[in-house]
Amino acid sequence: MASKDLVIFDCDMVLSNSAHRQKYKEDGKLDLDHWRANCTEEQIKKDVPQQKYLAKMLHAINDDKLVVIMTARVLSNWDYQWFKEHLPKGITGILSREGNDTQADHTLKLGMLEEIKCYLNMSNNITMYDDNPSIINAMQKAGVNTHLVTDGNKT
Ligand SMILES: [Mg+2]
């Protein structure tokens, strides 16, 4: 069986600039109550698509790669609406946090990676774009080709 490479994209501050909905607490952690209060149709519609990474996504799809979104968001219908409006056609899947799951983002995403790996040939190359250094570190240790995104707020 031919093996396909896998490319994983984070959502917030990679495919989507959602900074207008984010507030950080004094300890540097995301204020989740503020985030949840702003997960409304009106606010999600204001998230700005990041053309640079959407173009990379399209390129990967056209290269016949498996393309997956891995997000620590708990997704609502409005999130899916945004995806439908802004993502290129042809992605393989979207993996997101369950509503009752409170584990740290990097352990959440490592778990998602392990699940995906069950369906992949061992020789598959896996590449990931994410703006969270702790996720990038964890993925690097798991053998993923990582790209730390620092310009996901440009457009
Ligand atoms: Mg992010």
CATH architecture of 6-17+48-148: 3-Layer(aba) Sandwich (3.40)
Measured in degrees and rounded to the nearest 5, phi and psi for residue 92 equal -80, -40
Q: How far apart are CA 10 and CA 22, in angstroms?
A: 16
DSSP string, 48-98: EE-HHHHHHHHHHHHTT-EEEEE-SSPP-HHHHHHHHHHSPTT--EEE---
State pLDDT tens for residues 9-44. 999 999 999 999 999 999 988 899 999 999 999 999
For the whole prediction, is pTM greater than 0.85?
yes
Cα(44) to ligand 1 centroid in Å equals 15
CA distances (Å), origin 14, targets 1, 2, 49, 75, 147: 32, 29, 9, 16, 11
How many Å lie between the centroid of ligand 1 and the Cα of residue 1?
33
Cα of 135 vs centre of ligand 1, distance in Å, is 9
At 36-52, the pLDDT tens digits run 999 999 999 999 999 99
Q: How far is the CA of 2 from the centre of ligand 1 (A)?
A: 31
Q: Are 52 and 154 in contact, with CB atoms under 8 Å apart? A: yes
Domain locations along the chain: 6-17+48-148
Ligand 1: distance of its center to the CA of 18 in Å? Answer: 9
